[in-house]
Amino acid sequence: MYCPECGNDAHDAKFCPECGANLSGVKSALRGKTTGQQGGKAGRSGDKGGAATPAASNEPSGRLSPAVIWGGFGALAVIVIIVVVMASGGFGGDSSGDGGGTAENPAPATATAVPADTSGSYRELVERGNSLYDQGDAAFRDQDFEQGSAFFSAAAKVYAAAWKKQPGDPALGTDYSVALFYSGDIPGALERIEAVIEADPGFQKAWLNKGIFLSHEARLVEQEGDEKQAQKLFDQARTAFTRAAAIDPASEAGQQADASLEQLPE
């Protein structure tokens, strides 16, 4: 088990031998329990449309506004997603495609319900989706992952309505996929990002996010003990990161993809 504070491999210790952090909350998260102790300090990328920085190389990049990114790599992000996935119904839930992918993964019972108003024009829907996304970001910053998941779930539904009105925008499709990811619907996120890639094979952020989604899913599968499936997913993530880096190696997304490649297990 890796320490979410410093990244040191603490094995089964209750406290990190490197920095002394209390790891009891981490262990609870890995068992699918939310104790309020998990998480870490979140950061955000730059201006509208900006990719996450290489220092935060394993968090989704997209959004018409900045994406959620975390101060720590790997283990912490996996813990957050474990908490969200467990709280929203576990793995393997069916996505509902353009319907938002969250009907079978409702918001956790302990979170305040978040309405998803899917009426209005395309622009109104995108702005509303962005607002819900930002509220999910804020909740994650406060380490309220269940409430954040509820906001992201609502954002995904609103983005789905916008996509129906004006399908094909890769930026919207990517934001939609990231909202699904943070609502706990990793299969739905992967399905959506595949649709973006099919429509625009050269959209770098889509390939970057596909790699990120796959690498997180691989780590979750690895936690469940299925090493063979985890390796398959890591290999798919490596392919996606390689494609992202090749599109424009000098861009922030390209540098992030390159950094993510180095962080994948051999």
202 CB neighbour count, 10 Å cutoff: 11
Where do the DSSP E strands lie in the chain? 42-44, 68-70
User: pLDDT class for 54, splitting at 50, 70, 90?
Assistant: very low
Q: What is the pLDDT of residue 266?
A: 78
Lowest mean pLDDT, pick from 39-48, 150-159, 163-172, 235-244: 39-48
User: pLDDT class for 227, splitting at 50, 70, 90?
Assistant: very high
Report the mean per-residue pLDDT for the chain: 72
User: pLDDT class for 224, splitting at 50, 70, 90?
Assistant: confident
* Closest of 103, 107, 106, 84 to residue 94, by C-alpha: 103
User: pLDDT class for 37, splitting at 50, 70, 90?
Assistant: very low
Q: What is the mean pLDDT of residues 186-208?
A: 93
What pTM was estimated for this model as a whole?
0.66
* Closest of 221, 207, 136, 131 to residue 170, by C-alpha: 207
Q: What is the mean pLDDT of residues 109-124?
A: 90
Q: Is 246 helix (H, G, I), strand (E, B) or coil?
A: helix
* Closest of 1, 58, 41 to residue 24, by C-alpha: 1
Each residue of 142-156: pLDDT tens digit? Answer: 888 889 999 999 999
Whether the predicted pLDDT of 87 surpasses 80: no
Domain residues of the chain, as ranges?
39-263
Q: What is the pLDDT of residue 72?
A: 33
**Domain 39-263 in CATH: superfamily?**
Tetratricopeptide repeat domain (1.25.40.10)
Contact 39, 143 (CB under 8 A): yes
* Residue 130, amino acid: N
Each residue of 122-181: pLDDT tens digit? Answer: 999 999 999 999 999 888 888 888 899 999 999 999 999 999 999 988 989 999 999 999
Whether the predicted pLDDT of 83 surpasses 70: no
- Angle of the 204-223 helix axis to the 227-247 helix axis, nearest 10: 160
**Which has the higher per-residue pLDDT, 73 or 197?**
197
